Amino acid sequence: MSEPESTSQKRRDFRNFWQSVGYALEGFWAAVKHEPSFREDLIFVIVLTPVAIILPVKAVSTAVMLASLFVIVIAELLNSAIEWTIDDISLEKRLFAKRAKDMGSAAVFLSYINCAVVWGVILYSNWHRIQTLEFLTWPPQFLQ
């Protein structure tokens, strides 16, 4: 079976890319403005990002630590989108709406557990370098 022809083709060019970036930024700022839990998650990520960068671990470990932080923000954005969509449809209490919201919250919770496990494993496996605090001395060894 062939697909029906669309009367309006979606534009696929560079302007479309910038328009998509604009929508993404609007969504990000809407979450910052209207979602207290997103702001809390963002503060958590902003505080821990420099820590991940400063720690004396391999670059791959730093990337994994940063990725685990960004998964929290991504999960919170999706959870907020689910909640806003459900609230836009109806504010009355419904079983399926509650389940969807709870599942979104569970995703955020699991992203925090993931972050804790990732950071715990990396910190534990590199503790011998971290406990000396040599990475905090100035000038660093690569400049000497």
Orientation of helix 59-89 relative to helix 95-125, angle to 10°? 170
**Please, which residues have CB within 8 angstroms of residue 100's CB and are 6 or more apart in sequence?**
82, 86
Given the residues 76, 83, 92, 134, the one annotated as active site: 76
Report d(CA 31, CA 36) in Å as an integer. 8
Q: Which amino acid is at 16?
A: N
Nearest to 37 by CA among 110, 115, 120, 109: 109
Is 40 a catalytic site residue?
Answer: no
Report d(CA 44, CA 100) in Å as an integer. 25
Catalytic residue positions? 76
